Structure 1
Amino acid sequence: MRHIATDTESDAMDTAPVVIRQDQYETDTLAAQYCDAHYGPDHFDVANFPATCARICLELMEGRTKGAALDVGCAVGRGSFELARGGFERVTGLDFSTRFFRLAARMQEEGYLRFALPEEGEIVSFHEIGLVDLGLAEVRDRVAFFQADACNLPDKFAGYDLVLAANLIDRLYAPRRFLTTIHERMNPGGLLIITSPYSWLEEFTKHEDWLGGYRDAGEPVWTLDGLKEALATRFRMVGEPRDIPFVIRETRRKYQHTIAELTAWELA
């Protein structure tokens, strides 16, 4: 990732400053955070989250057919590119967010993104990130991005050997519908990989639709239990759950450190 300049650094240069128009850059706070999280440098020695998820997917796919993969809830797209680099012939990235979809598609089409990161108060820094810098440029033609609703996927999204749903499940309005229909999009023996910090909020999912994170007759119901119940008729769990940390940069002095749980499921 190339650091270009803060909006105050240019004024301090002895030579004529490079003119940087802020409208060339993605300045929405969440969009910038995700651009940095997907394509920027690691923070606090925590490995890049989408790249880590893709690496684990590829490890679990060892000896299996790597024809087509679906990265549902792909955000700005890093995981999709990593899956293509790992050998998938075709990778489809889907996200409900118009902004995220457009950023992922722009990266695929143009090979780079520009964004502005908050530093302190009104001060921002400008950055450019490119697929060439990450060794991902050669797989651009095997990745395609679309805007779609994970709970109501169009029929054309089908025939996948792998489905990655990274940090998606607790942001769906109908998570059980997704879990009980996703098999229709997969080839027999395909793998479903789910990661989530299980941070259920009613602004995304009605309480009665939560998979876990509540008490029933005084007993705690955990999301992992809800996943097992929803997937039991079609899938078997592969291996044990594992923790995957990730970091979201808010400003140069404020970061979110979160731990998602990753589970893998094989379609019967």
Structure 2
Amino acid sequence: MSNPYETDELVNQYLAFHYGPTYFEVPNYAVHCADICLGLMQGRSTRRALDLGCAVGRSTFELARGFESVVGIDLSSRFVESARALQEGAVLPYFLHDEGVLGHAAKASLSDLGLIDMGRKVRFEQGDACQLRAGLGQFDLVFAGNLIDRVANPAAFLDTLQDVVNPGGLLVISSPYTLLDEYTPRENWLGGVVVDGQSRTMLQGMTQALAPAFVPLGSPQDVPFVIRETARKYQHSIAQLTVWARV
């Protein structure tokens, strides 16, 4: 299957999602998640953060408001190229579809959002979250936004994080749990399935997969987000955000 996240359509859509206007009074998702993460770090070390599945980079830049350095990793080369261009001060044009082939141009830049100084604190890499490169190091915070339902083997992905999160550090996962066979073979689903006659949710599956290296911190919270497709079509989703402390 070709990667849809390398297409012009998805690059445009995610530049708008990260850097464009908000809709229906729903806060910017990348900013909202980063703000939650920064609030969680009060009284904790804020030396290094890792943004897995960073897409076009808004959450990475926002995390840099509170961390000394942040690494953003995404599988899409187009997404990473866009994030790096913004980091270097580029003004990126993108296209908003209105109806059919009709639409209008928009632009994204860090200077418009007061993030230009944050670019000096971040680094973007193309990479597979399930096969993180050797030498990446450890982090005080790892944020995985809308990623757990887009990897081929979620259990293996979570297992790798034991070596990436510092003891006492936090893992924050946010996802609407849109489970699709095209991304994750059904035999690898952590939840949304029946096991031994019992319903298993993603939260239950993640809890089992992360133990005993991680313990849940606080209660899950809902984080809504809106992705504009056309002037008359929007995706309105509700992610569940969970926080896990590295034992």
Query: Same fold, TM exceeding 0.5?
Result: yes
* Alignment check: 8 A CA contact 1:27 1:116 kept: no
Instruction: Kindly provide the amino acid, as one letter, of the partner of residue 260 in structure 1.
Output: A
* Alignment equivalent of 2:215, drawn from 226, 229, 236: 236
Which of 227, 230, 252 is residue 206 of structure 2 equivalent to? 227
Q: SS state of the match for residue 219, structure 2?
A: strand
SS at match of 2:25: coil
Letter in structure 2 aligned against 1:163: V
Q: One-letter code of the match for 1:31?
A: V
| Among candidates 257, 260, 267, match of residue 236 of structure 2 | 257
Q: Structure 1 27/174 Cα, relative in aligned 2: closer, same or farther at 3 Å?
A: closer
Separation in structure 2 between the aligned mates of residue 27 and residue 39 of structure 1, nearest angstrom: 18
User: Alpha carbon RMSD of aligned pairs, Å?
Assistant: 1.2
Q: How high is the sequence identity, in percent, across the aligned residues? A: 50
Q: Distance in 2 between matches of 1:187 and 1:100?
A: 27
Contact 2:49 2:70 in 1 (8 A): yes
Which structure: larger Rg? Answer: 1
Query: What corresponds to 1:134 in structure 2?
Result: 113
Residue 13 of structure 2 is matched in structure 1 by 33
Deviation at 1:156, TM superposition (A): 2.2
Q: Report the counterpart of residue 64 of structure 1 in structure 2.
A: 44
The structure 1 segments of at least 4 consecutive aligned residues displaced by more than 6 Å after TM superposition are: none
Q: Please say if residues 27 and 117 of structure 1, whose CA atoms lie closer than 8 Å, have aligned partners that are also in contact.
A: no
| Mapped contact 2:89–2:116 kept (Cα < 8 A) | no
**Aligned 1:109-148 pairs, distance under 5 A:** 109-148=88-127
> Partners of 2:7 and 2:215 in 1: how far apart?
43
Instruction: Say if 2:159 and 2:209, in contact at 8 Å, map to a contact too.
Output: yes
* Partner SS for 1:139: helix
Give 1:98 shift: 1.3
Deviation at 1:27, TM superposition (A): 7.9
Q: Which runs of 5+ in 2 are unaligned?
A: 1-5
Tell me the TM-score normalized by structure 1.
0.88
8 A contact 2:72–2:123 mirrored in 1:
yes
Is the CA contact 2:89–2:110 (under 8 Å) kept in the aligned structure 1? no
- Matched with 2:60 is 80
In structure 1, the gaps of 5 or more residues are: 1-25
- How far 1:121 moved relative to its partner? 1.1
